[in-house]
Amino acid sequence: MRIVRRMIVTVLLLVIALVVAVIVYIRPEKELDMSYEQVDMKVKVWNMVKNRVPEIELTREEMNHLAKKKMVEALTTTDTNVKVTGVEFSIHEEELEAKFNGKWGVIPFGGTLNFHMKSNGSDLILEHTSTRIRQIEIPSSRWSLAPITVSLNEYVPNLVGVDHINFKTDSIVLFFKIDWLAIPPFLLDLK
């Protein structure tokens, strides 16, 4: 009888130790949040018009804000048992990596979402390709996100339209078609 009790206690202690080890392993590596700033491209458009170069470069930080805003919108319409509590995006040419923190019930965890970026006119489309929690790949049948569309025309004045998008190592370059007749009212509007 004593041996059975000792075995049960030993098994329970091993299970508890295993659960604690898993929780410690998957916990977030750093604090992240879902806050973002609005990206105002009027100054960039002004400089583009002034320099007569029909392109604007979006930095990693600006892309982080744009993607966070769209991620917040996408997560409000996605039915999942995982709550994303923070995210930080980084660009690697046509790939976008999102380090994220989440909660599954009360258990916090950190992971990585990978997206492939492609352009469709003035839209930047982020297609979710994979999810990892630490080094563990999560099958897309378990958790996946619908494509996220960032309409870049929302962020630029009507006098310009995004013609095409070029992906660089750590930024995105937007090339524009410009309505040159609409520039004088735009310049007056800036003052």
The tens-digit pLDDT sequence of the chain (191 residues) is: 788 899 999 999 999 999 998 888 888 989 999 999 988 887 887 788 788 888 899 999 999 999 999 998 888 877 777 889 999 999 999 999 999 999 988 889 999 999 999 988 888 999 999 999 988 898 988 888 889 999 888 877 666 778 888 999 889 998 888 766 766 666 666 55
What lies within 8 Å, CB to CB, of 21 at 6+ separation is: none
Whole-structure pTM value: 0.81
41 φ/ψ sector (left φ>0, alpha ψ -120 to 50, else beta): alpha
Four-CA torsion 155, 158, 160, 165, nearest 10 degrees? 40
CB atoms within 10 A of CB 165: 20
Tokens of 113: 């979402």
pLDDT tens, position by position, 44-81: 877 887 888 888 999 999 999 999 999 988 888 777 77
The pLDDT, as a whole number, for residue 190 is 57
Quick: pLDDT tens for 176-190. 887 667 666 666 665
